[in-house]
Amino acid sequence: MNRNNEITIEEGSTNVYADLGYADAAEMQRKSQLAAEIARAIRARRLTQDGAAALLGIDQSKVSRITRGQFRGVSEAKLLELVAKLGHDVKIVVGPVRRRAGKIELQFA
């Protein structure tokens, strides 16, 4: 708050991890999107965490961590594999760009 007891609101970007100053913000955002999709797919299939763990071939505790957004130490490749095991096609498209560096973007159908 400032001196007049007014609340100052600062608009953030579309990436909360960048707003918080994470060096790997783009990767963290992608991983959070994948983790959210994994949690959504588990709910949609009405799986218990034990059932999801058996289907995914990972420990129940890892299912719990991922679905709560705790995915540090889990690679993007592993998260993509889990999404595929939950019945989603994963498509990676590589193409030319008109700027110096490309970007990685996720789209969910």
pTM > 0.85: yes or no: no
How far is Cα 17 from Cα 98, in angstroms, rounded to an integer? 26
Question: Is the pLDDT reported for residue 11 higher than 90?
Answer: no
Instruction: Walk me through the domains of the chain, giving residue ranges and CATH numbers.
Output: 16-85 (1.10.260.40)
For the record, the structure tokens of 4 come out as 């007049």
Question: Is the pLDDT reported for residue 1 higher than 60?
Answer: no
CA nearest neighbour of 28 among 101, 107, 88, 104: 104
State what percent of residues in the chain have pLDDT above 90.
55
How far is Cα 55 from Cα 47, in angstroms, rounded to an integer? 9
Rounded mean pLDDT, 22-49: 94
